[in-house]
Structure 1
Amino acid sequence: MKWLVISDTHMPKRAKQFPDTLEDELKKVNHIIHAGDFQTMDVYEKLSQYGKLHGVYGNIDEEDLKEQLPAKKTLEIEGFRIGLVHGHGEKKTTEKRVLEAFDEKMDIIIFGHSHMPLLRYVGKTLLFNPGSVTDKRKLPYYSFGRLHIGEELQAEHVFFNR
């Protein structure tokens, strides 16, 4: 099973539409994970047109998104436990906050907030931040992620220019 993983779309503030690279990828998947900071309900609704959308709200999301989406979510897919959280908060690093967000063991924690792509293990938990498709900050590329779920759980980044 292939899943698309995105976060920090920040639309319409950072972009008026999805980048072509993301739009092409959205047409190939049935499931989308968004780790928060959609910004508006319009972005949520547009993503929902491409497939089953699993999301959490972020710190800049409108109130209607915060009312509809949880702050954190656990998915169980093919026997893998997937934690989903945006990662915003006070004190500590984003990584520490996301690790502390779940009491139970996760195989992978998907998060956003920092806009910094990350793929690394902490113990036996894979931390995956897909980066941002609209706000790369000082990084050379925009990014999103793919999650492959089968006998194994694999995550990868897709980097692109606008």
Structure 2
Amino acid sequence: MRVAVVSDTHLHSPDSRLEALYRRHMAGADVLIHLGDMVGEEMVDFFHQHPRFYSVRGNCDGGLWAMDVPATRTLTLEGCRMGAAHGWGPRELVWKTVADWFGPGYDLILYGHTHKRDERSIPDGPLVLNPGSLLAPRDGLPGMAMLEMVPDALPRITWIDISA
């Protein structure tokens, strides 16, 4: 199973670049997860074209539409229990804040908010992953993550770089 993970698109409506990225990297994934800060209601409608789309609400997701998007989510895919949240708190500690909020019993924690890629393992705890920002990175690396899920194992992560 392939899971496309994106975050922090910060668009009010889809543009031609996002549409091309969707066709190339997201449409063929078995599952698509957005970790918040889609920003516009049209973005939610756009991503819902994927048959297995899951999202969480980010701090920049406002308006009535955002009330229907959960702040956190738990998913189990191929036996891997994952928690997803946009993130909050001091940027250098967002990974820990989110992981601590979910607590024990998770294999993978997904978060956004920082606009920077991150992958780290917590000793005797979960793998923690931030795909960075698809279109507005703070580390110069626009992109996303693709997870290869295999039954009862941690996913294999492939970073997808989005060229300018």
The answer to whether TM tops 0.5 is yes
The match for 1:133 is 134
The CA deviation string for residues 110-136 of structure 1, in whole angstroms up to 9 with x for no partner, is: 100001001111123111100111101
- Map of 1:27-106 to 2, 5 A cutoff? 27-89=27-89, 93-106=93-106
Deviation at 1:92, TM superposition (A): 7.3
The CA deviation string for residues 32-90 of structure 1, in whole angstroms up to 9 with x for no partner, is: 00111110121111011123111110000022343111111111122111000001236
The match for 2:108 is 108
Residues matched between the structures, number: 160
Which structure 2 segments of 5+ residues have no match? none
Deviation at 1:12, TM superposition (A): 2.9
Identify if the C-alpha distance between structure 1 residues 129 and 90 changes in structure 2 by more than 3 Å, giving closer, same or farther.
closer
Tell me the SS of whatever aligns to 1:93.
helix
The match for 1:16 is 15
RMSD: 2.1
Distance 2:91 2:2 in 1: 35
CA contact (8 A) 1:7 1:35 kept: yes
The match for 2:162 is 160
Distance 1:60 1:99 in 2: 21
CA contact (8 A) 2:72 2:84 kept: yes
Higher helix share: 2
Deviation at 1:91, TM superposition (A): 8.6
Deviation at 1:16, TM superposition (A): 3.5
Distance 1:84 1:90 in 2: 18
The match for 2:146 is 146
Tell me the SS of whatever aligns to 1:37.
coil
Which structure 1 segments of 5+ residues have no match? none
Q: TM-score, normalized by length of structure 1? A: 0.88
